[in-house]
Amino acid sequence: MNLARITIFVSLLLVEFCFANNGNLDISAFGGKPNSDIAKALSSAWTQACASTTPVKILIPGSTYQMSVLELKGPCKAPIEIQIDGTIKAPADPNTMKGAYHWLTIGRVDSITLSGKGVFDGQGANAWKRNDCHKNYKCKGDSMNLGFNFVNNSIVRGLTSKDSKTFHVNVISCNNFTFDGFKVSAPNNSPNTDGIHIGRSTNVNVINTDIATGDDCISIGDGNKKLTIQNVVCGPGHGISVGSLGRYEIEESVEGLLVKNCTFKGTDNGVRIKTWPNSPVKITVSDMHFEDIIMTNVRNPIIIDQEYCPWNQCKKQNPSKIKISNISFKNIKGTSSALEGVVLSCSSGVPCQDIEMDNVDLTFNGAAAKAKCSNVKPKIIGKAPACGDGVSAGGS
């Protein structure tokens, strides 16, 4: 037997041994070594796991690895768990990502678990220097750390996303998907680095999660239903935002959101709904409830902004067509870094309806914070700031 055949034979034995060990596949059996690019090894392990008719766990042990752009695709035949205990680093040079939307994409799978104490390090500092999406309508964004497309009945638990080049996590068209004990870590000067973005998904849960980043901690796009955000700490960042909505013609309504037992520390916003003026679509935002929330030195603790137009990237001659209704803010306490702790700026075309504030206790420099409202008449229960002279008729 020549040397090449011996090498192949030994490699096959290693893979078979690793797979036989309680159904686990260690990437070392596929050539995944510390301080090397493990994309090929992880892809090979995934191919084998995806073909298995019994549950499989892929192991990435505690060490430091490199990884180039990778996509893991289903459908697969049985549940798969990827346990990451090491640190995986993306290429520091954003140009080497070759325009990839995500660094790691997982798509069209059912029952996948990502677990462990590992870190996905996007090494985003070089990308942040050239990112102008906050002021350039036609900017070209760099790669996000993690993308989940058409992923169902799955969970991400215990892992950390660090210094992504743009968004940390992008969740699109998923169902029954949970982040538990997840962590996002990036400095407050990292532009366009939303922690978790959710779009066109149902029953997504973000629980027991700590997010520090340079943009929205959690951003909720169009087409979402039945989302739960609970026991989340946000800061630094731009808060938890529904939207922005109404910028594009193909958007869908958003219905059903619970944000509960969350803490905001030094963020630009707390809980926010934002829609663009002059919107080309008529969709709705409804059944959203924010409760049991602590604000610490937050600039806009509660805000509905239906004139959202950053850097004047839009025309304001027509009001937003997005209808906002059945929204409640309950048991929200803490400090505002601005006098107006509550801003409800609703559309003059479709005023907000069924807005309720119940026990909202916010202070600014030791005194009660104020509320500024337009095109809405919120229902006040218990202690809450009353709207000032800006209240307009037409809402309820």
How many angstroms separate the CA atoms of 78 and 111, rounded? Answer: 8
How many angstroms separate the CA atoms of 199 and 254, rounded? Answer: 9
Q: State the CATH number of the domain containing residue 79.
A: 2.160.20.10
Tell me if 53 is assigned to some domain.
no
Of the residues 102, 168, 197, 238, only one is catalytic, namely 238
Residues 253, 284 contacting (CB under 8 angstroms): yes
Over residues 48-76, mean pLDDT = 98
Is residue 55 reached through a cis peptide bond, with omega within 30 degrees of 0 on the bond before it? no
Break the chain down into helix, strand, coil percent, rounded to 5.
10, 45, 40
The pLDDT of residue 388:
72
The pLDDT of residue 391:
34
- Show the domain range for 120: 58-381
The pLDDT of residue 9:
38
Active-site annotation holds for 102: no
Tell me if 287 is assigned to some domain.
yes
How many angstroms separate the CA atoms of 125 and 93, rounded? Answer: 9
Over residues 348-363, mean pLDDT = 97
And the tokens for 177?
Answer: 């998907």
E strand or H helix at 13? helix 3-20
Over residues 233-252, mean pLDDT = 96
pLDDT tens column, 30-49: 999 999 999 999 999 999 99
And the tokens for 103?
Answer: 């660094």
How many domains would you assign to the chain?
Answer: 1
pLDDT tens column, 164-196: 999 999 999 999 999 999 999 999 999 999 999
The pLDDT of residue 22:
64
For the cut 70, the answer to whether the pLDDT of residue 340 exceeds it is yes
For the cut 50, the answer to whether the pLDDT of residue 360 exceeds it is yes
268: Cβ contacts below 8 Å, ≥ 6 apart: 237, 238, 239, 298, 299, 300
pLDDT tens column, 195-242: 999 999 999 999 999 999 999 999 999 999 999 999 999 999 999 999
